[in-house]
Amino acid sequence: MSDDVKDSNWVGFKLIDGADMGDIIDLVLDDNPSAVADLKEGGYWELDAEDELCVDLDKISELLERPFDEKDFLVYVSSYYGRVSVEDGAIRLLADMLMVADYEREAVR
Protein backbone atom coordinates (compact mmCIF):
# COMPACT_ATOMS: atom_id res chain seq x y z
CA MET A 1 0.00 0.00 0.00
CA SER A 2 1.24 3.47 -0.88
CA ASP A 3 2.25 5.88 1.85
CA ASP A 4 0.18 8.55 0.05
CA VAL A 5 -3.15 6.79 0.67
CA LYS A 6 -4.60 7.09 4.17
CA ASP A 7 -7.93 6.31 5.77
CA SER A 8 -10.07 9.31 6.58
CA ASN A 9 -13.19 9.86 8.61
CA TRP A 10 -14.02 13.15 6.87
CA VAL A 11 -17.25 13.63 4.95
CA GLY A 12 -18.38 16.54 2.84
CA PHE A 13 -20.42 18.27 0.18
CA LYS A 14 -19.45 20.34 -2.83
CA LEU A 15 -22.24 22.92 -3.08
CA ILE A 16 -23.04 25.39 -5.82
CA ASP A 17 -23.05 28.94 -4.46
CA GLY A 18 -26.43 30.65 -4.64
CA ALA A 19 -28.48 33.44 -3.16
CA ASP A 20 -29.01 31.76 0.24
CA MET A 21 -26.06 29.37 0.35
CA GLY A 22 -23.84 31.61 2.53
CA ASP A 23 -26.55 31.74 5.21
CA ILE A 24 -27.18 28.00 4.92
CA ILE A 25 -23.44 27.30 5.30
CA ASP A 26 -23.32 29.49 8.44
CA LEU A 27 -26.21 27.55 9.97
CA VAL A 28 -24.61 24.18 9.17
CA LEU A 29 -21.29 25.35 10.65
CA ASP A 30 -23.08 26.41 13.86
CA ASP A 31 -24.70 22.96 14.13
CA ASN A 32 -21.55 20.94 13.37
CA PRO A 33 -18.55 21.88 15.55
CA SER A 34 -16.00 19.98 13.42
CA ALA A 35 -17.27 21.43 10.13
CA VAL A 36 -15.24 23.75 7.92
CA ALA A 37 -16.33 25.59 4.78
CA ASP A 38 -14.42 27.26 2.01
CA LEU A 39 -15.82 29.26 -0.92
CA LYS A 40 -13.78 28.27 -3.98
CA GLU A 41 -13.11 30.12 -7.17
CA GLY A 42 -15.69 29.10 -9.72
CA GLY A 43 -18.63 29.60 -7.37
CA TYR A 44 -18.86 26.54 -5.19
CA TRP A 45 -18.45 25.72 -1.51
CA GLU A 46 -16.48 22.89 0.03
CA LEU A 47 -18.26 21.91 3.25
CA ASP A 48 -16.49 19.20 5.24
CA ALA A 49 -16.69 17.69 8.72
CA GLU A 50 -15.11 14.93 10.74
CA ASP A 51 -17.22 11.76 11.28
CA GLU A 52 -20.65 13.29 10.58
CA LEU A 53 -22.22 16.30 8.92
CA CYS A 54 -25.87 17.06 9.57
CA VAL A 55 -27.88 19.53 7.49
CA ASP A 56 -31.01 20.43 9.46
CA LEU A 57 -33.59 21.23 6.79
CA ASP A 58 -36.16 22.39 9.35
CA LYS A 59 -33.74 25.04 10.64
CA ILE A 60 -32.98 26.12 7.08
CA SER A 61 -36.74 26.46 6.44
CA GLU A 62 -37.01 28.69 9.51
CA LEU A 63 -34.02 30.76 8.43
CA LEU A 64 -35.35 31.26 4.90
CA GLU A 65 -38.95 31.68 6.11
CA ARG A 66 -40.17 29.21 3.49
CA PRO A 67 -40.27 25.44 3.11
CA PHE A 68 -36.88 23.92 2.26
CA ASP A 69 -36.63 20.14 1.93
CA GLU A 70 -34.09 17.57 0.74
CA LYS A 71 -35.00 18.14 -2.91
CA ASP A 72 -34.29 21.87 -2.51
CA PHE A 73 -30.93 21.14 -0.88
CA LEU A 74 -29.91 18.57 -3.48
CA VAL A 75 -30.30 21.20 -6.21
CA TYR A 76 -27.14 22.81 -4.79
CA VAL A 77 -25.15 19.55 -4.35
CA SER A 78 -22.65 18.90 -7.12
CA SER A 79 -21.01 16.00 -5.24
CA TYR A 80 -20.51 14.52 -1.81
CA TYR A 81 -18.35 11.97 -0.06
CA GLY A 82 -19.46 9.85 2.87
CA ARG A 83 -22.53 7.74 3.41
CA VAL A 84 -25.68 9.76 2.97
CA SER A 85 -28.78 9.30 5.10
CA VAL A 86 -31.91 11.29 4.25
CA GLU A 87 -34.22 11.51 7.23
CA ASP A 88 -37.29 13.51 8.17
CA GLY A 89 -36.08 17.07 8.33
CA ALA A 90 -32.35 16.35 7.86
CA ILE A 91 -29.64 15.09 5.57
CA ARG A 92 -26.69 13.40 7.27
CA LEU A 93 -23.32 12.40 5.85
CA LEU A 94 -21.56 9.76 7.91
CA ALA A 95 -18.08 8.26 7.90
CA ASP A 96 -19.46 4.93 9.19
CA MET A 97 -21.87 2.65 7.39
CA LEU A 98 -25.33 2.58 8.94
CA MET A 99 -26.99 -0.79 9.36
CA VAL A 100 -30.71 -1.57 9.43
CA ALA A 101 -30.49 -1.93 13.22
CA ASP A 102 -29.27 1.68 13.47
CA TYR A 103 -32.43 2.92 11.73
CA GLU A 104 -34.63 0.67 13.88
CA ARG A 105 -33.00 2.05 17.04
CA GLU A 106 -33.69 5.63 15.86
CA ALA A 107 -37.33 4.76 15.12
CA VAL A 108 -37.80 3.50 18.70
CA ARG A 109 -36.46 6.78 20.17
Contact residues for 49 (Cβ-Cβ < 8 A; gap 6+): 10, 11, 12, 32, 34, 35, 36, 93
Q: What is the pLDDT of residue 87?
A: 87
Q: What is the pLDDT of residue 44?
A: 96
Contact residues for 27 (Cβ-Cβ < 8 A; gap 6+): 56, 59, 60, 63
Mean pLDDT calculated for residue range 11-39: 96
Domain extents for the chain?
10-108
Its pTM stands at: 0.81
The fold of the 10-108 domain, in CATH, is: Phenol Hydroxylase P2 Protein (3.90.56)
Mapped onto helix, strand or coil, the DSSP state of residue 8 is coil
d(CA 15, CA 17): 6
Q: What is the pLDDT of residue 54?
A: 97
